[in-house]
């Protein structure tokens, strides 16, 4: 990893001073976490620098500092943020990922919610859907359990990366995406197309796709009133503050009896977000803490945690 007080080019080094580009990189890191939630800690700063260098070169911007000003003040900043989000995204996903949560949804969560809603539509949101494997797996699980014939269900899926949402809208997948699917599901839901696999168009048409940044309440807020939210494998990339911001938005907008699914490797427990963990069938989900007071939802500083729980 590069030392922060050495210039990138080696020219003009002043001992004890950060080079202009190293300083600009840190400014960009702060701006990116504010705007997208994605935090590049010191262990991943080289990766951020590499990706920024590519974006900066592609745009023909002279330096990281110029790029910082472009993102902050340029009339073209929205387009530049879009390109950057596409570049920073980690498009790792696949069909039927952590299926215990789909089983919990169809066997435990939906029966409870359907009874409570009395025929009103149930709304499900896949909030960082990547190229669509997660919401399409949800739709498969709902169809296989007979839910579409039973109650009205709306599924929305969004991601901050417009390029990934475009891939989701296209609905054609490579072998890697299907690696966890049984031969039966592969045969039931896909047809060969070129070297890839096309998802069943009727299943695909059940999902409303959108581009939405979770940190932008104008974009994500209207989707966040869903009864069930899947927001999996995205908080692992976020700063604690960004996770809190998103969780608070969800707590404010989801119905009081809604369910939030995050990945098994993620946790909201120490962040004081107003959500508590609940066992649903053989999986865990987060539900709103009936007691919303700060005393009942303490944020535990990292240094107070046992070493094994610090990340
Ligand atoms: C590792 S994928 C997870 C996909 C899927 N949820 C799953 O669990 O398989 C993380 C996704 O989060 C998206 N993402 C990152 N920051 C985001 C933000 N601020 N708002 C919405 N999506 C974001 C990325 O574009 C990427 O598609």
- State if residue 223 touches ligand 1 by the CB under 6 angstroms criterion: no
The preferred substitution site among 83, 234, 241 for testing ligand 1, maximizing ligand atoms within 8 Å of CB, is 234
The Cα 233–Cα 8 span in angstroms is 33
Q: How far is CA 160 from the centre of its chain?
A: 8
pTM: 0.91
Q: Is 220 close to ligand 1, i.e. is its CB under 6 Å away?
A: no
The token pair at 15 is 């001992």
Residue with the smallest CA separation from ligand 1 atom 9 is 93
pLDDT digits over 148-187, tens only? 999 999 999 999 999 999 999 999 999 999 999 999 999 9
Whether 213 is in the pocket of ligand 1, judged by its Cβ within 6 Å, is yes
3-90: CATH topology: Chemotaxis Receptor Methyltransferase Cher; domain 1 (1.10.155)
Domain map (residue ranges) of the chain: 3-90, 99-309
- Residue 134's closest CA among 283, 285, 262, 280? 262
Residue 206: burial class (beta carbons within 10 Å; 0-12, 13-18, 19+): middle
Q: What are the φ/ψ torsions at residue 36 (nearest 5 degrees)? A: -120, -15
Determine the Cα angle at 65 with ends 60 and 69, to 5°.
Answer: 85
CATH 3.40.50.150 fits 99-309, yes or no: yes
User: CA–CA separation, 220 vs 214, rounded Å?
Assistant: 5
Kindly list the averaged pLDDT for each block of 10 residues, start to end, along the chain of length 311. Answer: 37 53 96 98 95 95 96 96 96 97 98 96 98 98 98 98 98 98 98 97 98 98 98 97 96 96 93 92 93 80 46 35
Give the number of the atom of ligand 1 that is nearest the alpha carbon of residue 215.
19
CA geometry: angle at 41 spanning 38 and 44, to 5°?
A: 90
Give the Cα separation of 130 and 90 in Å (integer): 8
Indicate which residue's Cα is closest to atom 24 of ligand 1.
89
Closest Cα to atom 23 of ligand 1 = 160
- The answer to whether the CB of 274 falls within 8 A of the CB of 292 is yes
Q: State residue 9's pLDDT score.
A: 37
Cβ of 123 less than 6 Å from ligand 1: no
Cβ(164) – ligand 1 distance below 6 Å: yes
Report the C-alpha gap between 83 and 88 in whole angstroms: 9
What is the Å distance from ligand 1's center to 8 Cα? 31
Mutate to test the pocket of ligand 1, among 100, 160, 236 (most ligand atoms within 8 A of CB): 160
pLDDT at site 301:
66
Which two structure tokens, joined as six digits, stand for 261?
């699914």
Best residue for ligand 1 mutational test, from 38, 87, 128, 213 (most atoms within 8 Å of Cβ): 128
């Amino acid at each position: 990893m590069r030392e922060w007080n050495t210039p990138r080019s080696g020219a003009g080094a002043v001992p004890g001073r950060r080079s202009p580009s190293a300083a600009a990189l840190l400014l960009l890191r702060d701006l990116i976490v504010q705007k997208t939630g994605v935090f590049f800690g010191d262990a991943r700063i080289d990766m951020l620098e590499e990706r920024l260098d590519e974006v900066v070169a592609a745009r023909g911007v002279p330096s990281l500092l110029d790029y910082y000003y472009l993102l902050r003040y340029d009339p073209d900043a929205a387009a530049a943020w879009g390109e950057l989000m596409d570049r920073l995204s980690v498009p790792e996903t696949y069909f039927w990922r952590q299926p215990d949560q789909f089983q919990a949804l169809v066997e435990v969560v939906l029966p409870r919610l359907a009874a409570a809603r009395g025929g009103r539509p149930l709304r499900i949101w896949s909030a960082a859907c990547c190229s669509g494997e997660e919401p399409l797996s949800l739709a498969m699980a709902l169809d296989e359990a007979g839910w579409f014939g039973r109650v009205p269900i709306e599924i929305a899926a969004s991601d901050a990366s417009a390029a990934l949402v475009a891939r989701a809208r296209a609905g054609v997948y490579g072998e890697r995406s299907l690696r966890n699917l049984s031969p039966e599901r592969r045969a039931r839901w896909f047809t060969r197309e070129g070297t890839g696999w096309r998802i069943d168009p009727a299943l695909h048409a059940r999902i409303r796709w959108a581009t939405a940044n979770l940190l932008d309440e104008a974009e994500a807020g209207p989707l966040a009133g869903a009864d069930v939210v899947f927001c999996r494998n995205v908080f692992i990339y976020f700063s604690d503050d960004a996770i809190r911001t998103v969780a608070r938005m969800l707590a404010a907008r989801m119905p009081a009896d809604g369910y939030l699914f995050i990945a098994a490797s993620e946790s909201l427990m120490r962040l004081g977000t107003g959500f508590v963990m609940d066992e649903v069938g053989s999986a865990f989900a987060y539900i709103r803490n009936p007691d919303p007071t700060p005393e009942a939802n303490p944020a535990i500083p990292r240094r107070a945690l046992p070493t094994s729980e610090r990340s």
